Amino acid sequence: MAGADGDDSLYPIAVLIDELRNEDVQLRLNSIKKLSTIALALGVERTRTELLPFLTDTIYDEDEVLLALAEQLGNFTMLVGGPEYVHCLLPPLESLATVEETVVRDKAVESLRKISQEHSPVDLEVHFEPLVKRLASGDWFTSRTSACGLFSVCYPRVSSTVKAEIRQHFRTLCSDDTPMVRRAAASKLGEFAKVLELDYVKSDIISLFTALASDEQDSVRLLAVEACVSIATLLPQEDLETLVMPTLRQAAEDKSWRVRYMVADKFSELQKAVGPEITKNDLVPAFQNLLKDCEAEVRAAAANKVKEFCENLPEDNREQIIMTHILPCVKELVSDTNQHVKSALASVIMGLSTILGKDNTIEHLLPLFLAQLKDECPEVRLNIISNLDCVNEVIGIRQLSQSLLPAIVELAEDAKWRVRLAIIEYMPLLAGQLGVEFFDEKLNTLCMAWLIDHVYAIREAATCNLMKLVEKFGAEWAQNTIVPKVLGMANDPNYLHRMTTLFCINALSEACGQEITTKQMLPVVLKMSNDQVANVRFNVAKSLQKIGPVLDSNTLQTEVKPVLEKLASDSDMDVKYFAQEAISVLALA
Amino acid sequence: MMGDRPSPPRAMSSAAATSPSVDKVDGFSRKSVRKAKQKRSQSSSQFRSQGKPIELTPLPLLKDVPASEQPELFLKKLQQCCTIFDFMDTLSDLKMKEYKRSTLNELVDYVTVSRGYLTEQAYPEVVKMVSHNIFRTLPPSDSNEFDPEEDEPTLEASWPHLQLVYEFFIRFLESQEFQPSIAKKYIDQKFVLQLLELFDSEDPRERDYLKTVLHRIYGKFLGLRAFIRKQINNIFLRFVYETEHFNGVAELLEILGSIINGFALPLKAEHKQFLVKVLIPLHTVRSLSLFHAQLAYCIVQFLEKDPTLTEPVIRGLLKFWPKTCSQKEVMFLGELEEILDVIEPTQFVKIQEPLFKQISRCVSSPHFQVAERALYYWNNEYIMSLIEENSSVILPIMFTSLYRISKEHWNPAIVALVYNVLKAFMEMNSTLFDELTATYKSDRQREKKKEKDREELWKKLQDLELKRGLRSDGIIPT
């Protein structure tokens, strides 16, 4: 194929070379991104013999260009002639795997991992594995870090001699004197363990794991905790106690809070990996300690796991463990000094009610919910309110309604508009659970007050909230409770409030149906077309366009059309524009 | 359990009863404004009071006992000072805290003036006391994303003791009787590693002391020097490529500045590697402004030692030139001027082309501070003389930008500066200047044509691809 078109075939490489020398990075980047086009045009042979050597030799460029190149090369297998030739891609990727910039290096490793799968077992040993070895023994830390991510992809498919070498290299990197390399090795330890034969997991991985878990740098130790999950999953139950637990216990009490944080963060995974017996004997006390940790970060991470941990406890004595060991700690966290801890707890604590059942919930959890509903920090209250549905299933929301109301009222008027916004979003849910009477009595005024909030986002959310309420409670309810109030605002001296009326009508017309829209809403809208503020007038045009489909054609012709026509000759150009748009959308022309 | 806790006072409750949220303040105030209200302090992550009050038996003053008994009393006092107090609890152990403070004060004075106190047994005890007090896991930062430029640093609560411990340790290291050959058994690699970790402390007072301590250790323990440099390397690399967070970068660079000053010539490969692979990439970090002065100092130190490093350094800076952050761009220009101040003319010739291509881009930056900073180079006599010597190379590179800005830039101050620069060039090399002015238009047209040709070329390439029946999904039909 190559050369078939005579001079034409010179273009691609000429273009590329020219472009890659351009001063503008963006142009260099563009040409690299079109590398596959160039390769296609060149054909597989010339791609292998000209393009790849060119790329390997001449690439010294901005990291952004290198990143694009590293990514492209991962998809190049077919362009160099398929799996048979895939090893041609190794030289450029090898040098990209040694650059300083982490993003580039990671992308090169990702591409190498990808194309490793396309190597035949023979090619893997002849071409790929030597590359891994070279990287693993490179001078500068970057190449050794990259090597860490490549062991696990070639290990399963090479001969046992090569396997032994790979294990040896991995071992060496685990005790590298550069912490960056040890971190890279520690982060791949779990992945590597998964592809190893069980005997080697026990003999090799465990000793590496133990060493990394007691590294002098906490940044290395905490990565060992992550590996702990995979390793524990691989080992038979009877070995866990001797091989893994001593290290895990030590990590849970590490002097660095970062390591303890990691243990707390991975607690559910660890719990699943070590099984119910060890959980009962070891993890329960460890979890208690984490919940009582001196660092708020650790307590918050542990508090986040309370529900999941309890859920996954062995069922036979779950309740007993929770009641005697976990709940006392949880009770203390409710009055923690740190708001992040309290709010982490508040986001999961409601989930305990399904696990503990009705009686325990009423007796033990309810007081905690109530305390959190009165917490000084709005986020805590909000988290409780947003999870009300869990409690609703177990004991019904009525139990809480007395305390709920003041909490809602206070959040509804919080100084931070984002808090107000958050509580509005829970209104439909609350309304559904509390029922229409409670709502009318206590919450309706709040919902209406939001309509005149000074922050637009709140007014907008309030409008949307009304629509959802109408969908829940029905048109009749709307007609009696909210429509009159909404329409009343049409006479407000503040034009922003008058516009809110229009926005509400936009949102409500469909849910309220034709009759209410025609008889009650439409007259108000039409009357507002005489408003002195242009913004109100063009919103009238937009509203008419919006509610048009709900009206019958007679009303459209006799009532809506004349008003829109009048607006279409308004002195304000925006009003004209939207009136004309409405006329054409409603096909009234 | 909850019932007996008084609920916290709330400003809200009264407001809630009266009116809806109309006249309340929104949470848009700047971070720094909000933060300023809280007084923040923190203490070691590990330490929390054990609940029991701490009792120390008061010892006599050193000056009140005969000289022969002083060494032993000194040891006893050191041991007492290993006791750690909880400073987050401002009410506990007040008496004993005061006792330790006065003991530490006494120890500081004692090591400064006394002679013959430093027995061999004293070394491990001193190091133990210092380690006990200063080595601790630094607690998490109070604010989620501690931004050193915006946020007030969190101060170390135990500073009343900690400061004296540092003070004592420095006096000890500086004492005339101090013998590194004995001390090196105790002040070892592990000790240094822990010391370096403390540089991440948010408390600037502590970092300042650490700087002095590390500097003294580097000066006195020859065997630790390579190790210290390597560990600082690691800290920087992690800072650049992994976390972008480390509070003590400026302090470490300051120490390095003086270390570089003392490097022997010719420079070892290790040092050159440090310059190119660590110091230059430090420029990429977002918080550059916090340590840029120290960094630029280190770079210039290197170049004064070995001018042949100029080219890799400038090429490195050009590679990492900020694309979007004008503030950083101004810093880069400042550093470049510092480098040009010491550049040798032979080195200048090697990098003038890429360098002035960048400067030409800066000059035409729409951000006037960047343009202004670059144009200030023409006020620097030495740089001016270099430009003059090489005007035949530099003028063609700069001309297009200057000519265009003189017509187009929005900022009149920049236009005025550019006129001066153009005038200077005109005086320097009037023949070339006239030539460039004459060909300006045709040059632009040629550029436009080139641009067009490029587009054509790409189009052709795509046609070629289609003609060969190659599918756009990257699969070659067989």
Structure tokens at A249: 């216990």
Q: How far is A256 from chain B (nearest CA, A)?
A: 6
**Residue reference for tokens 């297009």:** B400
pLDDT at A329 over 80: yes
Which of A299, A293, A298, A136 minimizes the C-alpha distance to A222?
A298
A15: confidence class by pLDDT, cuts 50, 70, 90: low
Q: Is B86 helix (H, G, I), strand (E, B) or coil?
A: coil
Confidence of residue B146 (pLDDT cuts 50, 70, 90): low
Q: Chain B partners of A36 at a C-beta cutoff of 8 Å?
A: 474
Q: Which chain A residues have a beta carbon less than 8 Å from that of B48? A: 294
**Hey, CA dihedral for A115, A121, A126, A131, is it positive or negative?**
positive
Return the number of CB contacts < 8 Å for A and B: 132
Q: Do B329 and B365 form a contact (C-beta atoms < 8 A)?
A: yes
Mean pLDDT, chain B, whole residue set: 83
CA nearest B419: which of B428, B429, B431, B407?
Answer: B407
More confident residue, A108 or A381: A108
Residue B49 scores a pLDDT above 80: no
Distance (Å) from the alpha carbon of A1 to chain B's nearest alpha carbon: 9
Rg of chain A on CA atoms, in Å: 34
pLDDT value at residue A10 = 57
Which residue in B140, B241, B467 is closest to A297 by CB distance? B140
Q: What is the pLDDT of residue B62?
A: 83
Residue-wise DSSP of A349-383? GGGHHHHHHHHHIIIIIHHHHHHHHT-SSHHHHHH
Nearest CA in chain A to B9: A376
Measured at the CA of B315, the angle between CA B312 and CA B316, to 5 degrees, comes to 80
**What is the per-residue pLDDT across A525-584, written as a single tens digit (0 to 9) for each?**
999 999 999 999 999 999 999 998 888 889 889 989 999 999 999 999 999 999 999 999
Distance CA A582, CA B33 (A): 48
Of B16, B47, B139, the CB nearest to A410: B16
Q: What is the pLDDT of residues B179-226, one digit of tens each?
A: 999 999 999 999 999 999 999 998 999 999 999 999 999 999 999 999
pLDDT of residue A240: 87
User: What pLDDT is attached to residue A473?
Assistant: 87
Q: Which of B38, B196, B241 to mutate to test the interface with A (most CBs of A within 10 A)?
A: B241
- Taking CA–CA distances from A446, the nearest residue in chain B reads B20
- Nearest residue of B to residue A179 by CA position? B234
Look at B21 and A8 and tell me if their CB atoms are within 8 Å.
Answer: no
CA-based nearest distance A579→chain B, Å: 33
Asked if the model's pLDDT at residue A206 lies above 50, the reply is: yes
Tell me whether residues B8 and A376 touch, CB distance under 8 A.
yes
Condensed to tens digits (0 to 9), the pLDDT of residues B433-463 reads 888 888 888 888 888 888 888 788 777 777 7
Return d(Cα B33, Cα B26) in angstroms, integer: 13
What is the complex's ipTM, to 2 decimals? 0.77
Q: Say which residues have a Cβ less than 8 Å from residue B407's Cβ, sequence separation at least 6.
A: none
To the nearest whole angstrom, how far is the Cα of A429 from the nearest Cα of chain B? 22
pTM over 0.90: no
CA atoms in the 13 A half-sphere facing the CB of B345: 8
CA distance B294 to chain A (A): 23
Residues B239-284 pLDDT 10s: 998 888 899 999 999 999 999 988 988 999 999 999 999 999 999 9
B474 touches chain A (CB under 8 A): yes
Per the CB < 8 A criterion, the answer to whether A287 and A278 are in contact is no
From the list B45, B462, B470, the residue facing A257 with the nearest CB is B45
* Partner B contacted by A377 (CB < 8 A): no
Which positions 48-87 of A are in contact with B (Cβ < 8 Å)?
Answer: 62, 75, 78-79
Domains of chain A, earliest start first: 474-588 (1.25.10.10)
Amino acid at B416: A
How far off is chain A from B376, nearest CA to CA, in Å? Answer: 25
Cα–Cα distances (Å) from A531 to A291, A491, A539, A541, in that order, read 61, 10, 11, 12
Higher pLDDT, B32 or A357: A357
| Amino acid B147: pLDDT | 66
**Are B140 and A79 inside 8 Å of each other by CB?**
no
Q: Does B22 touch chain A (CB under 8 A)?
A: yes
A11, A34, A256 member nearest B464 (Cβ): A11
CA distance B68 to chain A (A): 41
Phi, psi at A328, each rounded to 5°? -55, -40
Contacts of A78 in chain B (CB under 8 A): 474-476
Residue B26 pLDDT grade (very low, low, confident, very high; cuts 50, 70, 90): very low
A238 touches chain B (CB under 8 A): no
| Burial grade of B321 (CB within 10 A; 0-12, 13-18, 19 or more) | middle
Asked if the model's pLDDT at residue B119 lies above 90, the reply is: no
Residue B415 in this model has a pLDDT that exceeds 80: yes
CB A213 within 8 A of CB A247: yes
Cβ contact B251:B211 at 8 Å: yes
Q: How far is CA A564 from the centre of its chain?
A: 46
Count of other CB atoms within 10 angstroms of residue B229: 16
The structure tokens 């005086």 sit at B427
Nearest to A191 by CA among A240, A151, A144, A131: A151
Tell if the CB–CB gap between A368 and B454 is shorter than 8 Å: no
| Sign of the C-alpha dihedral computed for residues A576, A577, A582 and A584 taken in this order | positive
Chain A residues with CB under 8 Å of B457 CB are 11, 14-15, 18
Mutate to test the interface with B, among A13, A38, A139, A295 (most CBs of B within 10 A): A295
Tokens in use for B386?
């270099």
The tens digit of pLDDT for each residue in A71-104 reads: 999 988 888 888 889 998 999 999 999 998 899 9
CA distance B471 to chain A (A): 9
Contact list, A334 vs chain B (CB under 8 Å)? 2
A331 touches chain B (CB under 8 A): yes
Read off the pLDDT of residues A456-483 as tens digits, 9 standing for 90 and up.
999 999 999 999 988 888 888 888 888 8
- Give me the mean pLDDT over the B122-144 stretch: 86
Convert the pLDDT of each residue in B294-327 to its tens digit: 999 999 999 999 999 999 999 999 999 998 899 9
At residue B292, does pLDDT exceed 80?
A: yes
Residue B155 backbone dihedrals phi, psi, to 5 degrees: -90, 150
Query: Residue A122 to residues A112, A115, A128, A169, A225: CA-CA distances in angstroms?
Result: 17, 14, 9, 20, 36
Which residue of chain A has the CA closest to B284? Answer: A101
CA distance linking residue A330 with residue B406, whole number of Å: 70
